[in-house]
A and B are shown apart, each in its own frame.
Chain A
């Protein structure tokens, strides 16, 4: 093939500019730390890395949701633990009061303590976490057992709390969060299910809720009615069962939340690793590529310098 000077110049320029292009590419990757600048660099990898990124941030959000519900679950559990202590104490007092050895006056002093326990339990039923009532269903901003609403000495569930909810069960509604695609975790326990008349409470006049039970007990103690006192013990037992059942529920939910949380933590690590494989540069590889490109670039420049200079002109005089 006939070779001309312009071909040599073109070759020299072409080779050098190819290398420069490579070096500029490598430099860009090193500077940004990203292997991919645009989808067209590697459409499949970009598709995957965007999917991973979305999954990672979704899971991070699910984790946050779980954290939030765990806070609530723990607060509920500790409130119900307190409720249990109060009810156990009330039961002990009721057993004491039922004893034939007690005098009328000692029964009256027991009645006083029972009424204090009732107030304490009301406080527990009105527990809040971050300003939201735990046992109020979705009516989280309204006290479910207000002091002013105490017919027969026991608070009733605040059915008038929402002016809009005639016949609506929003105060019994469950609260949940998304903890996975299509997966909801219910984290609240409604006051109705723990403190209200959801159990067989014996012969009329049946108490409407646990507060009424305690109030009835106190009245029986005041009035020295031992048989009624014994009846109240059964009712308190049933109520204690109810609380235990709710706590078992919470424990189960709490376990599920922890399991999910652990799973998300593990998968976050592996997903981030995978994402990094797709979009982060391999530094040692890149640096060695850069060194290599630089060497080739210099070599091509040196070769060009030697090849281009001489023509026959240099040797004619």
Chain B
């Protein structure tokens, strides 16, 4: 006995399956260019067979198929690749930011060029040389004044430029924290929706794509660890602290830097906090880690001239005892003062103190020593309230105000000492020769200060600048490598989860035909039924 109704039912199932498959094809096609989208595939299964008794057997010939149905819609994704991409993205983000930041710092120095600090220093020494060939000349003397002003202003503007970049970087830390919080709360929100759907036995494919994308973007900002819990929720942690937990996201915070020093400049910089605790900047990774690196290590701090008197406790043993969070005593000091600011300060101070020592002992055009207040060539401005008045660093270094102006040209001390004639040029010669003097420029560099290497001022400058160049070059190289690597990984992921339009078109044609064919089956049964129904009719 034939079951006509079973055939109809099979046809209807075919129609429904083809329609659902076409829906998925449509979804795939429209999302072909959506960031983070994973291709979805329809898994069709045949529905349970219907036992069908046969003519020759009491039990039946076996089973007859009852049609088709969509078992599930599967997300095509390689999770291992996702994890790899996330990790590499953090490294990429970090090195891109480092590279850009170092470029910005290098542009500040503007080397190599005719206007960089190297040339200004050379010009300064040349001015003294020029004065030594004609010490009686006011023109040569005022040239020394001008060169002195130019040199100190170069130092001032470099210092200012660097602190400005540091402030900008600090602002970026705050922005990065805001962005990171956006992503963690997004992940937490998606967690809720996904676990809800999974609880109902549904596959939340599209939500998982979005969550994955959010995690990747979060990883670019800061290097987090993630895992999927048994209930389908994604848990995200940073330095062992759960940013996204089962209950939801907890935001990172920012607060002004540690108030353990009276250093006004430093205390305005930002710390990142979680639950009231300060996070270690050296374990951040990603863009946030790079901002910290730029702020605290590349640019760094140099407290010689920025502190107000009296010096805060702990800073007297300079370089060894910095207040937490930046490297507690005994640990690798994160914020060891050997960044650009520190080096610039050391350079300025070494140069000023060498010039000052000679200039103080020299005689002016009248053959006399200057009055004590005018003996130093470079000084800090009298208004600055500094820890050390003898340390003439890059920030405040300036030509002694008493030596400024045309009236003061005669006070430039070119002569050897009291009683020298106006033609005596020995101190001028010696000051010009400072360029060749090997001296320990970094006397306080930790640890230990036993034998700081000697170097000339221009070598010192040249070398710390090329050190910076090497850092920039490394960051650039790593960023390029990471880009290539991530491109490659993305290609692999694309190969799994990307949408191939040809394939979708083929599927579309396939399911369209399946739909048509199923319709044909139904219409065939329609005719069969029609035949049966009209059989009893009056012929």
Q: Which of A117-125, A161-169, A202-210 lies at the binding interface?
A: A161-169
Interface presence of B172 (CB below 8 A) = no
Q: Are B429 and A137 in contact (CB under 8 A)?
A: no
Q: Please encode chain B, from 23 to 47, with 1 for each CB lying within 8 Å of some chain A CB and 0 for all others.
A: 0000000001100000000000000
Q: Are B423 and A138 in contact (CB under 8 A)?
A: yes
Q: Residue B429 contacts which of A49, A178, A279 (CB distance < 8 angstroms)?
A: A178
Q: Are B132 and A65 in contact (CB under 8 A)?
A: yes
Q: Are A170 and B129 in contact (CB under 8 A)?
A: no
| Chain B residues positioned under 8 Å from A173 (CB to CB) | 416, 420-421, 424
Interface presence of A312 (CB below 8 A) = yes
Q: Please encode chain B, from 431 to 455, with 1 for each CB lying within 8 Å of some chain A CB and 0 for all others.
A: 0110110000000000000000000
Q: Which of A2-10, A235-243, A264-272 lies at the binding interface?
A: A2-10
Knowing A4-B494, A54-B118, A170-B421, the reply to whether A138 touches B112 (Cβ < 8 A) is: no
| Chain B residues positioned under 8 Å from A162 (CB to CB) | 367, 419, 421
Interface presence of A95 (CB below 8 A) = no
Q: Are A68 and B133 in contact (CB under 8 A)?
A: yes
Q: Please encode chain A, from 142 to 174, with 1 for each CB lying within 8 Å of some chain B CB and 0 for all others.
A: 100000000000000000001011001011010
Alpha-carbon distance between A60 and B425 when the two chains are bound, in angstroms: 19
Knowing A50-B118, A138-B422, A170-B367, the reply to whether A3 touches B500 (Cβ < 8 A) is: yes
Closest B-chain residue to A130, C-beta based?
B134
Q: Please encode chain A, from 121 to 136, with 1 for each CB lying within 8 Å of some chain B CB and 0 for all others.
A: 0000000001110001
Knowing A38-B106, A40-B103, the reply to whether A140 touches B422 (Cβ < 8 A) is: yes
B464 to chain A, nearest CB (A): 10
| Chain A residues positioned under 8 Å from B491 (CB to CB) | 7, 10
Q: Are B462 and A61 in contact (CB under 8 A)?
A: no
| Chain B residues positioned under 8 Å from A312 (CB to CB) | 501-502, 505-506
| Chain B residues positioned under 8 Å from A39 (CB to CB) | 106, 109, 111-112, 465-466, 468-469, 472
| Chain B residues positioned under 8 Å from A181 (CB to CB) | 433, 436
Q: Are A61 and B33 in contact (CB under 8 A)?
A: no
Alpha-carbon distance between A9 and B500 when the two chains are bound, in angstroms: 12
Alpha-carbon distance between A54 and B123 when the two chains are bound, in angstroms: 10
Alpha-carbon distance between A207 and B418 when the two chains are bound, in angstroms: 32
B475 to chain A, nearest CB (A): 8
Q: Residue B419 contacts which of A2, A170, A178 (CB distance < 8 angstroms)?
A: A170
Near A by CB (< 8 A), chain B positions 102-122 give: 102-103, 106-107, 109, 111-112, 118-119, 122
Q: Residue A170 contacts which of B368, B424, B495 (CB distance < 8 angstroms)?
A: B424
Alpha-carbon distance between A285 and B185 when the two chains are bound, in angstroms: 54
Q: Are B433 and A182 in contact (CB under 8 A)?
A: yes
Q: Are A4 and B495 in contact (CB under 8 A)?
A: yes
Q: Are A58 and B122 in contact (CB under 8 A)?
A: yes
Q: Are B498 and A6 in contact (CB under 8 A)?
A: yes
Q: Residue A178 contacts which of B122, B433, B505 (CB distance < 8 angstroms)?
A: B433
Q: Are A165 and B436 in contact (CB under 8 A)?
A: no
Near B by CB (< 8 A), chain A positions 1-37 give: 1-7, 9-10, 14, 36
Q: Residue A54 contacts which of B458, B494, B506 (CB distance < 8 angstroms)?
A: B458
A66 to chain B, nearest CB (A): 9
Alpha-carbon distance between A65 and B433 when the two chains are bound, in angstroms: 13
Alpha-carbon distance between A51 and B455 when the two chains are bound, in angstroms: 13
Q: Are A46 and B465 in contact (CB under 8 A)?
A: yes
Q: Are A178 and B472 in contact (CB under 8 A)?
A: no
Interface presence of B496 (CB below 8 A) = yes
Interface presence of A292 (CB below 8 A) = no
Closest B-chain residue to A176, C-beta based?
B429
Interface presence of A141 (CB below 8 A) = yes
Interface presence of A255 (CB below 8 A) = no
Q: Are B473 and A43 in contact (CB under 8 A)?
A: yes
B477 to chain A, nearest CB (A): 10
Near B by CB (< 8 A), chain A positions 43-89 give: 43-44, 46-47, 49-51, 53-54, 57-58, 61-62, 64-65, 68-69
What 5 pairs between A and B have smallest CB-CB spacing? A39-B469, A40-B472, A140-B423, A138-B421, A4-B498
Instruction: Given contact pairs A61-B129, A140-B423, A164-B366, enumerate 6 new A-B contacts (beta carbons under 8 Å).
Output: A6-B494, A39-B106, A39-B468, A132-B134, A162-B367, A164-B367
| A to B CB contacts below 8 Å, 26 in the list | A2-B496, A2-B500, A5-B502, A10-B487, A39-B466, A39-B469, A39-B472, A40-B469, A43-B470, A46-B466, A50-B465, A58-B126, A64-B133, A65-B129, A130-B134, A131-B136, A132-B134, A138-B424, A162-B421, A164-B366, A164-B368, A165-B421, A177-B429, A178-B132, A181-B433, A182-B436
Q: Which residues of A are interface residues toward B (Cβ below 8 A)? A: 1-7, 9-10, 14, 36, 38-44, 46-47, 49-51, 53-54, 57-58, 61-62, 64-65, 68-69, 130-132, 136-142, 162, 164-165, 168, 170-171, 173, 175-178, 181-182, 184, 279, 311-313, 316
